Structure 1
Amino acid sequence: MPMGRLAMRHVRDVMRLRAAGLSIREIGRRVGAVPSTVRLTIRRFEAAGLSWPLADDITDAVLEERLFAGAGTKPGQRRRAEPDWAAIHRELKRKHVTLSILWEEYIASEPDGYRYSRFCDLYRAWESRLSVTMRQSHAAGDKLFVDYAGDGIAVVIDRLTGERRTAQIFVAVLGASNLTYAQATWTQGLADWISGHVGAFEAIGGVPALVVPDNAKTAVIKACFYDPQINRSYAEMAAHYGTAILPARPRRPRDKAKVEQAVLVIERWLIGGLRHRIFHSLAELNAAIGEMLRRLNDERPIRRLGVTRRQLFNEIDRPALKALPETPYVFAEWRIRRVSIDYHVDVGDHYYSVPHRFVRAEVEVRLTARTVEIFHKGERIAAHQRMSGNHKHTTVPEHMASSHRRYAGWTIERIRQDAAAIGPATTALCNLILDERPHPEQGFRACLGIIRLARSYGADRLEAAATRAIDIGARTYGSVKSILANNLDRRPAQRPADGIAIVHANIRGPRYYN
């Protein structure tokens, strides 16, 4: 979200949430903006003499004009009381808990126990005997890993002919507790993919901070190691639940080791266990999956930890999860269309009207099961009831022209340090990217990619490219790479009178005033 200026729909969201009593930081988190931008928006709103709720005649265009018009022990010693390593492993998944804290608690109850260095060595030795996925460090309530199983389950959809159809198995697993969820869907398409997420959130009774999918085309429009682009409908679902999407990095299997292990468990425990049963509907199959999951999560202890997934979930993950939203999520799909010469938009082989002045304009269409909403530059210009694909027209008379109406490993601190080593422009650009993302990890890869461009192009060229990127408001890895690849950084840039370039987060650059 650009600093200092929000889309008008987000301005309305800011004021609605402010009127509801939410804090600046919470509002920023919900609308995807930094707190300084939220504060500036509220000040401009009040300075414009506006009050919430807005009058019906204040459109987004009017609102924009009003707001921006002015604008250790040693070998040989005796064996001491052995700590409960499984309990210590569970405690380490809690936020702010370290081995040092746990050792102090242990030595308080066992004064003759192991010294700190020996305590750490013994724990690391015990931890090394866990599986790879169990050894990975996952904070409580932090990540939900999602994917589809490689194999499906056959469902007999016609009892007379015996016709079969393969159901796909959606799998989700929480990082800290390994609580596992599975759901059968007919396809791996966007609607079924999001339906699996909704089912997972309902099953665990809360929302994690991050959702980690693979780089499947359903979830990611453009896969990129540093700055992947998320499908808009998928991102809208995440925004509804107040979580963020962080795709696994390409060619980094450890990023998704947790869900791959869960998929393996589901394939062996669930699919293998149901191989002799015959199902005649998706509902019947999901009922059987639910019973198998209950046994997996509630009855089978995790090896070496001695507790079930459900017990670990109730102890570790549940207190850290966000609450489910009050209103249910309604799946919406976004499509890009161009208005035809007859001021209608073709959506699913049906034609919906828009005001005639938008002829030939590119618009965004938001589809739900019941409605079709059409937007132009963020403003909703038409809304219709969704119709079947019958090649007919749905026309609002007011949309017609008057003459027609008669007719029908890294850390963010290290990123900042490495950016500072290159120069002030790179530092400023990375700070902008980190501050503007809803979750810092989403901006982490983009900054890392920008810093690594210095290896190929040198620090001086990267500094020039970062300065140009700030000037034009391009704050992505792809934009900086494009500037360097096309030698745009070598073009002379406009400088202040004294010849010194000013790089600062509060300077908008010439693009803002165009």
Structure 2
Amino acid sequence: RYSRFCDLYRGWEGRLPVTMRQTHQAGDKVFVDYAGDKQPVVVDRLTGETREAHIFVAVMGASSLSFACATWSETLADWTDAHVRAFAAFGGAPRLLVPDNAKVAVIKACLYDPQVNRSYADLARHYGAACLPTRPRRPRDKAKVEACVGIVERWLFGRLRNVIFYSLAELNAAIALLIARLNDERVLRHFGQTRRQLFEALDAPLLTPLPAEPYVFAEWRARRVGIDYHVEVEHHFYSVPHRFARKPVEARLTARTVEIFLNGERIAAHMRGSGNGRHTTVPDHMASAHRRYADWTLEKILAESARIGPCAQLLCEKILEDRPHPEQGFRSCKGILGLEKRFGAARLEAAAQRALEIGSRNFPSLKSILEKGLEGQPLSPAPGDHQPIEHGNIRGSSYYH
């Protein structure tokens, strides 16, 4: 009987612990969560294949103004992007973000000192806010968003259950229209005003203005600089100043950039590269000896040798031609050009001429010519070039006939 049911209900209700009524200050908190239900989206019109979209919900603490959008997943990238959209819809950011203890927001849940995901903390810092996760296993801490999630689920899914969507953009457009009706048309019974009216009166004046640029999602990776002063990130190698070789660092990755930090200080920044095993190296990061070596190219060697003289240039060209690959002759050419500092350009040019004349096209021979001062001496006549010697004691050809 109904009267018996009422008696049992009152007995059960009497055993419930008392609850605290929470008062939320204007512009102070936004509660965020994902709805439990998901909305199917057709991703292939031919086969009818569908993919489930997740519904992100954000609600302002004082006014209950709500925001919802669909994402393909609950990953950190989609989670932060949904926050950026919510702040844009609110026209500002509150002082506190209140998520639950999902891994996407909290790395390690703790009653007293929860460890917030670093990318999520960066998002909050970008908007002048802070993260305040709810206590573990305390759903009443976020009763506001739990109630809003229930309202959004009933308000959205009931109206969308028979609608077929062919893209996430279509679904988000429909959600935006329904959420606008929820905020602008439904009057809250206890306040006699809509959520929008309460928001404009309470929350909006106290929100932190949006920054000039929206937050760009970034991930953090712990890395160690290699002996070649490069850091491996996503199978690509990025340089840092050579003095930081072997140091433990952190890499911050966005869609376009890679930044390397040491003890919170940025020591390098690169455009994000693609391709496995490739390197991105800034010349200023290299040791001076490495930079000088890397600067040597075929064109530079020929230009430097031409500056000394035509014989020096021709000698370098011959050395490079004699090797199966031109780079195999780089060291010999660099050594030859380096002799200019010790012996001067004029002597080096003369020595190169002598080396070409005797067919000795290598660094040791040229160095020996300079050290022995042979570049200024005439060449010895080759065998067969001697003139016949005329002498009285030498028999002529007639003697033998």
CA distance in 2, matches of 1:381, 1:342: 16
- Aligned residue for 1:333? 219
TM-score, with length taken from structure 2: 0.65
Task: Please give the per-residue CA displacement for 1:101-131, whole angstroms capped at 9, x wherever unaligned.
Answer: xxxxxxxxxxxxxxxxxxxxxxxxxxxxxxx
SS of 2:36 mapped into structure 1: coil
Q: Confirm whether residue 371 of structure 1 aligns to residue 282 of structure 2.
A: no
Q: Confirm whether residue 392 of structure 1 aligns to residue 278 of structure 2.
A: yes
- Aligned residue for 1:274? 160
CA distance in 2, matches of 1:274, 1:336: 43
The AA in structure 2 aligned to 1:158 is: D
- Aligned residue for 1:36? none
How far off its partner does 1:403 sit?
Answer: 4.7
RMSD: 2.1
Task: Please give the per-residue CA displacement for 1:202-223, whole angstroms capped at 9, x wherever unaligned.
Answer: 1111221211011111111221
Report if the CA contact (8 A) 2:29-2:97 is conserved.
yes
Q: Give matches, 1:495-506, under 5 Å.
A: none
The AA in structure 1 aligned to 2:44 is: D
1:244 to 120, 130, 135: 130
- Aligned residue for 1:189? 75
Report if the CA contact (8 A) 2:108-2:115 is conserved.
yes
- Aligned residue for 1:26? none
How far off its partner does 1:303 sit?
Answer: 2.8
1:350 to 210, 217, 236: 236
SS of 1:191 mapped into structure 2: helix
1:298 to 179, 184, 187: 184
- Aligned residue for 2:4? none
CA distance in 1, matches of 2:208, 2:287: 50
Q: 1:278 to 1:388 in 2, by over 3 A?
A: farther
Q: Confirm whether residue 153 of structure 1 aligns to residue 42 of structure 2.
A: no
Q: 1:311 to 1:355 in 2, by over 3 A?
A: same
The AA in structure 2 aligned to 1:271 is: F
1:220 to 106, 111, 120: 106
The AA in structure 2 aligned to 1:157 is: V
SS of 1:331 mapped into structure 2: coil
SS of 1:218 mapped into structure 2: coil
CA distance in 1, matches of 2:281, 2:56: 40
CA distance in 1, matches of 2:217, 2:126: 10
Number of aligned residues: 277
- Aligned residue for 2:366? none
- Aligned residue for 2:49? 163
CA distance in 1, matches of 2:173, 2:241: 48
Report if the CA contact (8 A) 2:107-2:116 is conserved.
yes
2:66 to 180, 188, 193: 180
Task: Please give the per-residue CA displacement for 1:290-345, whole angstroms capped at 9, x wherever unaligned.
Answer: 00101111111123432211111112222222222233322222221111233221
CA distance in 2, matches of 1:304, 1:381: 56
CA distance in 2, matches of 1:155, 1:341: 49
Report if the CA contact (8 A) 2:229-2:239 is conserved.
yes
SS of 2:73 mapped into structure 1: coil
The AA in structure 2 aligned to 1:141 is: G
CA distance in 1, matches of 2:262, 2:74: 30
The AA in structure 2 aligned to 1:289 is: I
Which structure 2 residue ranges, 5 or more long, are not aligned?
1-17, 296-401
CA distance in 2, matches of 1:222, 1:261: 26
How far off its partner does 1:280 sit?
Answer: 1.2
Task: Please give the per-residue CA displacement for 1:131-154, whole angstroms capped at 9, x wherever unaligned.
Answer: x99953111111100011112211
Q: Which has the larger radius of gyration?
A: 2
Q: 1:407 to 1:202 in 2, by over 3 A?
A: same
CA distance in 2, matches of 1:133, 1:200: 30
Q: Give matches, 1:425-436, under 5 Å.
A: none
Q: 1:401 to 1:244 in 2, by over 3 A?
A: same
SS of 2:182 mapped into structure 1: helix
CA distance in 2, matches of 1:322, 1:245: 15
CA distance in 1, matches of 2:275, 2:111: 39
1:308 to 167, 177, 194: 194
Q: Which piece of structure 1 moves more, 240-249 or 330-339? A: 330-339
SS of 1:288 mapped into structure 2: helix
Q: 1:212 to 1:166 in 2, by over 3 A?
A: same
The AA in structure 2 aligned to 1:395 is: T
CA distance in 1, matches of 2:31, 2:91: 16
How far off its partner does 1:402 sit?
Answer: 4.2
The AA in structure 2 aligned to 1:181 is: F
Q: 1:326 to 1:134 in 2, by over 3 A?
A: farther
Task: Please give the per-residue CA displacement for 1:170-203, whole angstroms capped at 9, x wherever unaligned.
Answer: 1100111111100111111111111111111111
- Aligned residue for 2:8? none
Task: Please give the per-residue CA displacement for 1:353-407, whole angstroms capped at 9, x wherever unaligned.
Answer: 2223322211011112211111112222211101235332212233334454435
CA distance in 1, matches of 2:151, 2:250: 41
Q: 1:307 to 1:155 in 2, by over 3 A?
A: same
How far off its partner does 1:249 sit?
Answer: 0.7
Q: 1:134 to 1:155 in 2, by over 3 A?
A: farther
CA distance in 2, matches of 1:332, 1:260: 29
- Aligned residue for 1:317? 203
Q: Confirm whether residue 136 of structure 1 aligns to residue 19 of structure 2.
A: no
The AA in structure 2 aligned to 1:153 is: Q
What percentage of residue pairs aligned between the two structures are identical? 69
SS of 2:126 mapped into structure 1: helix
Task: Please give the per-residue CA displacement for 1:468-499, whole angstroms capped at 9, x wherever unaligned.
Answer: xxxxxxxxxxxxxxxxxxxxxxxxxxxxxxxx
CA distance in 1, matches of 2:189, 2:288: 75
Q: 1:352 to 1:133 in 2, by over 3 A?
A: farther
CA distance in 2, matches of 1:378, 1:250: 30
The AA in structure 2 aligned to 1:286 is: N
The AA in structure 2 aligned to 1:394 is: T
